[in-house]
Chains A and B, each alone.
Chain A
Amino acid sequence: MKWVGLIAVLFTGGLLLSAMDDFPNWGDAHSPANASPVSQYFIEKTIEDSGVPNMVTAVLADYRSYDTMFETVVVLIAGIAIMAILRVGNQIPRGARPAPVSAPASVNDDHQDIIIGTTCRLLIPVLQLFAFYVIAHGHHSPGGGFQGGVVLGTSFILAAIAKGLDPALERLPETRYVKIAFVGVVIYSAFGVACLLLGENFLDYGVLSVLLPTIDAAEARSHSMLGVEVGVAFTVSAIMFAIYANLASKGELEGGL
């Protein structure tokens, strides 16, 4: 069987390489991807359309926002799938988690490492602030909802690693993170539906300027991009933590690593 695999890999590699001499030159300004009207449009019109200096964010959150909405759904599905598979037959009623009388918690307190504890206390607020910065600045500088959401989710995971899963789940219980994950997609699609209700196509943010009379269509696009990034960040951060909590405890949501 190894030989079959090797042949398949060699064949695929050969196939990928076989078109090499047909490729446009590296950095060629006249290559199809660079010279196409689509790229030209993005480069020339992004500022005019939405006033967003980060062209990449403009493409992903405005021009191709429909894709990004479904990518957020993909992240949601990843988390839901892990919960659906791992939380099998785990019948602990939500919210009725055993109170912190359990023995491991107190053991944890005794052995709480002062270095780890202090570092986390210092690091977590900074991480979370940084996450908000990354989310909020996504359309001006590198960043955005996916990146910021991961940083935000990491801060909870760090708490869970340092202090144990139970204290972290007390702060962010399952009911809450599942809700946050769904609400993130709701926020994203609500922007689209709002455009639909105002009589334009789905996710045509420009029309949202009707709601805030002080802004014009370009500003409405820029602000809506921020809005959908916030939705993405909700889902991504909650799902990051959900995946960690479920994998670390084999779906029991107790004890952890």
Chain B
Amino acid sequence: MAEQYPIIVLLVLLFGALLVGLSGMVDRRVCFPLAVTALSLAVVVSVGILQQVINGGVIRYFVGGWSRPVGIGIELRIDTINALVLLTITTVGLLTAIFSFRRVQEDKTEKTPLFYVLYLLLIMGLSGMVISGDAFNLYVLLEVSSLTSYALIAMGKSRRAATAAFSYIIMGTIGASFYLLGVGYLYLRTGTLNMMEIHQAILALDGSSSTIVVAFVLILVGLMIKMAFFPLFGWLPNAYSYCPSSTSCVVAPLMTKVGVYVMIRMMLTVFGTEWVFENLQYAQWLVGMAIVAILAGSVMALAQVELKKMFCYLIVAEVGYMVGGAWMANHWGMVGAIYHIMSDAFMTLCMFLAAGIFLKQAGVVRIDQLDGMFRKMPVTMAGFVVGALAMIGIPPTCGFFSKLYLIRGGMESGHWGYVVALLISSLVNAVLFFRIFEIAYFGKKPAEGHGHHENHSTVSVIKEANVSSLVPLLASAAIIVLLGIFNSDIVELIERALNGSQVIGMNVLSGKGGQG
């Protein structure tokens, strides 16, 4: 039983989706309990997987039993990094599913079953991408997760959601095609699709093959579109801010982060850090691009008046953090980038959950509408404050520690520009969030005459959100703090995957870490 966990986590979600689809046609009310049950089981199983990896090392699961020679079948390969990211994905999925409860209450259309089918398949696709040990299988699950997210975003009520989803489809498809082309080039030169086998073949080629370089560039560009890295982020802000709240709460924390994870997996396992950092002279360029991404994302976030749009540009900046950290060729940079995948997932979840509650309870779209929110919705604001402090980087939260590791990496490897960009971005976050606190605590200046009157009439209507919305918000806030408190344990797990024999070719990273 226990050795079947890697497949069970996907099957639970797949059968959850199929059951929701089949029984949801008969009775819509079963959709929500079924979805939450499936996701809870997935969380339980992914905890089991994490325990198994901690105790027994890397899990290699050969689907169909095709284990020899390696590469004829598909391998699922889980080390501590995937296990942690997998747990993040299923947890975010579960919390957002609980949050979507009020959607079910309101939405009397027949779309509810379809929504949950797509939702569960999205979580399944992301989980499958993370645990896959096969470059092509990863593409198949990338398709599953992309198609479901396009549909979920297009289901928004406003017409702008449809156009935003359309540009997302075009960009996302281009990104996926680039990835697939890259995998094709890899296969051309290595003759296998299994990640470990590709790595062996690349080592045997001794860095002389231009095909491998082109393959890497194609995969990198494809993933950069998927993760909304700076110049290629155009699809993100509209897609994430015009879709329904329950969609944005799952898509915004997970899609870009899984893109970053796949990039790191490609660097660590498929191409190998020696090849990536020594053979390929791109690292300096990519850190430079990451600096631009961080600064541009922060500046554009400053210019926003809408709450969700502001968070979207902050995501662009956060992606810059992780890409820069991963490309510093430094141990702590890599650790920080991987740790930040998790902490940023929960921070973004917290932000978007709060934005969803504000939108639902008070119709807040713009930042200045948050007037007096501490008084009207104290619990929601408490959760929001924790998330905001993490985004700024205040000590007990995980946001502080991921920045700490990233800055340490930047200092050791001498990327001072990156360190400065990270600090500027933190200051910008402080400005942004303290402005929100100010509006929400002290209220707006009573300048506008009729606007004030309007507000007055709505004050009595605004109530605290119901339990199904507050539980996920407070849970995500608690996780943010817990991730921060237990940061050394998590980093120890990440290092285990980086240093040990679990991921090959880490000697470059540890070596350079020592020099700094």
Interface residues of chain A, those whose CB is within 8 Å of chain B, are 15-16, 18-19, 21-24, 31-39, 41-42, 62-67, 70-71, 73-74, 77-78, 80-81, 83-85, 87-91, 94, 175, 178-179, 182-183, 185-186, 189, 192-193, 196, 200-206
For residue A205, which residues in chain B have a CB less than 8 angstroms away from its CB?
A: 64
Chain B residues, Cβ within 8 Å of A179: 22, 25
A32-B190, A71-B140, A179-B22 are contacts. A77–B121 as well, Cβ < 8 Å?
Answer: yes
Q: Are B155 and A85 in contact (CB under 8 A)?
A: yes
Given known pairs A22-B211, A201-B61, the reply for A185 and B11 (CB within 8 Å) is no
* CB atoms of B151 and A18 under 8 A apart: no
Q: Does B490 contact A (CB under 8 A)?
A: no
Question: Could you say which of A37, A83, A201 contacts B71, with CB atoms under 8 Å apart?
Answer: A37
Ordered by A's residue number, 30 sampled pairs between the chains whose C-beta atoms are within 8 Å are A15-B214, A19-B185, A22-B209, A24-B188, A32-B201, A38-B69, A41-B72, A66-B74, A66-B137, A67-B137, A70-B137, A70-B143, A73-B121, A74-B143, A77-B148, A80-B114, A81-B148, A81-B154, A83-B114, A84-B115, A85-B154, A88-B109, A90-B110, A186-B22, A192-B7, A201-B7, A201-B63, A202-B4, A203-B64, A204-B65
Give chain B nearest CB distance to A246 CB in angstroms: 12
Q: B321 at interface (Cβ–Cβ under 8 A)?
A: no
Q: Is B93 among interface residues, defined by CB-CB distance under 8 A?
A: no
- Find out whether the CB atom of B214 lies under 8 angstroms from the CB atom of A70: no
**Cβ 8 A contact of B64, one of A37, A89, A204:** A204
Main secondary structure on A side of the interface with B = helix
Instruction: Tell me if B511 counts as interface (CB < 8 A to partner A).
Output: no
With a CB–CB cut-off of 8 A, which chain B residues contact A34?
Answer: 191
Chain A: minimal CB distance from B47 (Å): 20
Q: Which residues of B contact A78 (CB under 8 A)?
A: 147
- A84 & B63 in contact (Cβ 8 Å cutoff): no
- Among B71, B128, B190: residue with most chain A CB under 10 A: B71
B188 touches A18 (CB 8 A): no
Instruction: Provide the B75-118 mask, 1 if CB < 8 A to any CB of A, else 0.
Output: 00000000000000000000000000000000001110011011
Q: Report the number of A-B residue pairs with Cβ-Cβ less than 8 Å.
A: 164
A42: chain B residues at CB < 8 Å are 72
Instruction: Give bound CA distance, A175 to B73, whole Å.
Output: 37
* Most chain A beta-carbon contacts within 10 A, residue among B109, B181, B191, B192: B191
Can you name the residue of chain A whose Cβ is closest to the Cβ of B139? Answer: A67
Contact B140 A70 (CB under 8 A): yes
Tell me, yes or no, whether B195 is within 8 Å of chain A by CB: no
Stretch at the interface among B13-21, B308-316, B495-503: B13-21
In the complex, per-residue mask of B119-146: 1 if CB is within 8 Å of any chain A CB, else 0? 0010001001000000011001101100
Chain B, 182-202, contact with A by CB distance < 8 Å: what is the 0/1 string? 000101111110000000010
Contacts of B115 in A (CB 8 A): 84
Please name the residue on chain B nearest to A193 by beta carbon.
Answer: B11
Residue of B nearest to A182 (CB): B21
Given A24-B188, A38-B72, A62-B64, CB of A74 within 8 Å of CB of B25: no
Contact assessment for B25 and A175 in the assembled complex, using a CB-CB cutoff below 8 Å: yes
- A175 contact set on B, CB distance < 8 A: 25
Q: Is B44 an interface residue (CB 8 A)?
A: no
Which one of A32, A70, A94 lies within 8 Å of B191 (CB-CB)? A32
Query: Residues of B contacting A83 with CB < 8 Å?
Result: 114
Q: Pick the contact of A22 from B118, B144, B150, B210 — CB < 8 Å? A: B210
Question: Which B residue's beta carbon lies closest to that of A68?
Answer: B140
Q: Please classify the interface of chain B as helix (H, G, I), strand (E, B), loop, or mixed, using the class held by over half of its residues.
A: helix
B180 within 8 A of A: no
Q: Is the C-beta of B66 less than 8 angstroms from some C-beta in chain A?
A: yes
B50 to chain A, nearest CB (A): 20
CB-CB under 8 A from A18, the residues of chain B are 210, 214
Q: How far is the CB of B336 from chain A (nearest CB, A)?
A: 31
Residue of B4, B73, B148, B209 most packed against chain A (CB within 10 A) = B73
Contact yes or no, A182 B72, CB < 8 A: no
**A178-B25 CB under 8 A given contacts A80-B118, A201-B4:** yes
Residues of A within 8 A of B114 (CB): 80, 83-84
Asked whether any CB of chain A lies closer than 8 Å to the CB of B217, the reply is yes
The docked-state distance in angstroms from the alpha carbon of A168 to that of B218 is 45
Are B191 and A87 neighbours in the complex by a CB distance under 8 Å? Answer: no
- Kindly list chain A residues whose C-beta atoms are within 8 Å of the C-beta of B191: 31-36, 38-39
B71 adjacent to A38 (CB under 8 Å): yes
Chain B residues lying within 8 Å of A23, measured Cβ to Cβ, are: 188, 211
Please report the C-alpha to C-alpha distance between residue A203 and residue B189 in the assembled complex, in whole angstroms: 29
Give the shortest distance, in Å, between A172 (CB) and chain B (any CB).
15
